[in-house]
Structures are given as C-alpha cells and as structure tokens.
Amino acid sequence: MVREERFTVRASQTSILTLGQAKIHNPVSHMCGPDGSVCAMVDEGDRVLVNPYPGQIKGKGEPPTFELAGPRQHIYFDPTKLKAAIVTCGGMCPGINSLVRSIVLQLYYIYGVRNIVGVRFGLQGFCPRYGHELMDLNPEVVQNIHGRGGAFLGMSRGPQPIEEVVDSLERQNIGLLFMIGGDGTLHAGQAIFKEISRRRLKVGVICIPKTIDNDICFVERTFGFQTAVEAATRAILGAHNEATGSPHGVGMVKLMGRLSGFVAAYATLALTEVNFCLIPEVNFDLDGPRGLLAQMEHRLSSRGHAVIVVAEGAGQKFFEGQDLGRDLSGNVVLGDIGLYLKKRIGEHFHKLGIELNLKYIDPSYIIRSVPASSEDRIYTGFLGHHAVHAGMSGRTGMLVSLWNNHYVHVPIELAITHRRQVDPQGGLWRAVREATGQESLLDGGGK
C-alpha cells in the first residue's frame, strides 16, 4: 500500500527543469505594500522537506526537498510575445472553471499576457480532425465561470497522438501550456514534455492535478475533493434518514474512488452515521461469521438499521475472471460493487426470512459536476497563481502541489511513479474504524 513517506525519494528526483535562464525583470516585484516594501519574492534556494519526520531523514544524507512555489525575481517569457494555452482533460471535477479563471486573470492582470487561448474538449482540441477551434480567453470571457459547475472549456477522455499534440503547439506558436487533469493527464503531460524536449522547443508544460479521488502522489489534496466530500455527505445523510425511517432499513451509498478510498473515508468521518465503510485498499468478505453479511445481521438485530458507504473500486475480487473491458482512458472497467452488494444483501436476508428495506444511492455524476465550494474556489485560486508564476519563470515538466502546508513544484515524472492511497495502518483508516465501530470484515479468505 503506497504511502509517500514509505518509499525512498532521492534529492535528484525533485529537481525542476527550466527552458533557459530567466532574464526579464518580474513585474510582480513592482507590487508594493503600504509601507513601501516589495512583494515577497521566492528565493531560488527556498525548499520544503519532502518528509518532515526527523526519524525518516536522520543519518541518510541530504534530505529530499521540493522547490517552493511563488514568484521569482526574473521571468523567462516576454509577456508581450507569449501565447499561453489552457486545456482541461478527463472527467468533470468541481473547481475546474474556478482554476481556469484564476490562470487567465493571473496571466492577464499580473503578468500582462494578452494572448491566452483555451483548448476545447481536452486533447482532442489539438487534433485538426475533430474540428474544435481554440477559444480566445480574457477576463471578460471568464468573469462568471467560477460559480458554475461542469467544464467551461469542455473535456474528453482517451489518449491522442502525442506527436500531433506537439505539432499543434508548434503550429499555433504556443509557448506555455497549462494542463488540468488527473493521473492520465499527468502521464500525457509527461509524454508531451518529453516530445517537446526531443524537438528542442521552448515550450513550457505546467500541470495542475485534478481528481475527485485525491489519488495523486505528493499532493496533499487535489482540488474538488473537499466539494465532493461535502456533496457525498449530503447523500449519506439521505441514506441514513431512509434507513432509520423503515424497519430493518439499510441505506447504501456508492462513492467515487477507483483505487483510492479517500472520498468514502472522509465522507464517513464528516457524518458519523456510517456503520460500514468499504474501500479498495481494505479487503473484506461477505460470507462467514466475520463477513459483512453476518455483521449486518448483528447490526440490524441490535439497532434496527444500518448505513453502508462503498467506494466504487472496493470488492473487485468478487468480479475476478470477468473481462469487463477498458474505458476510453485505458482503465479496466470496474465491476459495479454497489449493485452486487445490493443483490447479495437482499438475497441473504430473504433466505433468513427477514424483510429488508434497502435504499441504494449512487450520486457519482451529481457530485462531480456541482459548483465548487468556497474552500475549493480559494484553493484553485492559489493553484492558478502558482502555476502561472512557475510557467512564466520558465519552469517545465512539473505540477503545482500543496505539500506540508506549502505550495511546491513537483516533477511530473515523480508524481506518476506511484498512486496515493489510504494506508490501512495509518491514522485516517484508524479514525474511520473508530467512527463506524466496524471490525475486520475478513473471514479467512471466504467470499
């Protein structure tokens, strides 16, 4: 089970590449405080520890550190000559529009960049065969988009030919590309960065991680996650009300989380009415005296109702041997654990002669398309600002991250080496176990 502090990171792995020497005076330095002091600039030597625990770094040589994000004294790109592009990829996520707006306003007002374009419908927008035109972006165009759900620029899944994408960047004279997306987008961003480097082009690639699942390594929290947890909590409350309103009532909510159960875990903690939380990282059985069905029997006999929260990627062992294919992003299609549990639970209690009132709720698509919360709008504002600072300074092949309460630069290559997951031996899962009161649901290998 991956936990960032459990695998070794070398200092050399955290280096951020640049397009060349930054020689242009940064216009941000002219922003003064009321006492005449200059706006705080980031020194090139400012770093943040990858692992803040002394026991993990003592006696191991130079500890690995991330470069601190923020404005530098000098920038690489001439704002009057730069053409910047923004592309949003993958699935919907709360906060996308707020982030696009933040990037546009920062480029336009702070750095004076006037040539900003939006790429329509993800990486498809770079490929002429799809016929998507670039959208000119300015403060007027994006002035109200931060209050909307959905994706202003549109999105698409699935890979596109990297050579074709870079051909388009070169043909359109784009010097700085901001890519907003999840794990698949980060892999695409790394491939685009490599192809740009192979061609020796002076084009910067800056990524901003986007995923409700919160599963990007070396990112404390991806934007949209907080909004998703809030929306999920409302669904769980509805499930609890349904469960308590009927004899032998069961409310079950399926939440997003293919390989990482952060949404399910945090939503469970946000509303401590959940009795069973099932996530991909923690195995469970259905049958046997310690399995889920037996523990549900005990719960219903003692309290009369139960609430189950299940992440979409939990319990995939029950679908072993089934070839469900792959989706447009190349991911293995998951078995529908929610419908499977609904069927198995219903059959089990029917055999026992117990009338069950089970209500199943799947709010996935509602959760991902809602407007961002105030907290996520603030967060995307900071991410957008730091992404622009990094890009204008000539940095490339990196993503902007919140790490150890600081905004930092993380090489894309490092971020995609592992997937962030809930640690079954960590404090988060312990808190979930304490909140639900659930015991181990393993019965020695049974299903």
Q: Which residues are catalytic?
A: 213
- Say whether 212 sits in a helix, a strand or coil: coil
Q: What does the block give as tokens for 332?
A: 């293995």
Which residues fall within 8 angstroms of residue 384, CB to CB, at 6 or more apart?
A: 99, 100, 101, 102, 103, 105, 106, 208
Strand order in the sheet with 406-411: 47-49, 65-68, 406-411, 398-403, 204-209, 176-181, 83-88, 115-119, 135-136
Q: Distance (Å, rounded) from C-alpha 369 to C-alpha 129?
A: 28
Amino acid identity of residue 171, one-letter, is: R
DSSP secondary structure of 307-335: EEEEETTTTGGGGTT----B-TTSPBPPP
Strand order in the sheet with 276-278: 276-278, 305-311, 249-255, 357-361
- Say whether 365 sits in a helix, a strand or coil: helix
Q: Distance (Å, rounded) from C-alpha 392 to C-alpha 378?
A: 22
Residue from 193, 231, 186, 190 nearest 212 by CA: 231
- Say whether 118 sits in a helix, a strand or coil: strand
Q: Distance (Å, rounded) from C-alpha 112 to C-alpha 165?
A: 26
For residues 280 and 257, is the Cβ–Cβ distance under 8 A?
A: yes
Q: What does the block give as tokens for 433?
A: 């176990």
Amino acid identity of residue 173, one-letter, is: N
Contacts by 141-147, CB closer than 8 A, 24 or more apart: 141/104, 142/97, 142/100, 142/101, 142/104, 142/105, 143/101, 145/97, 145/98, 145/100, 145/101, 146/97, 146/98, 146/101, 146/372, 146/377, 147/371
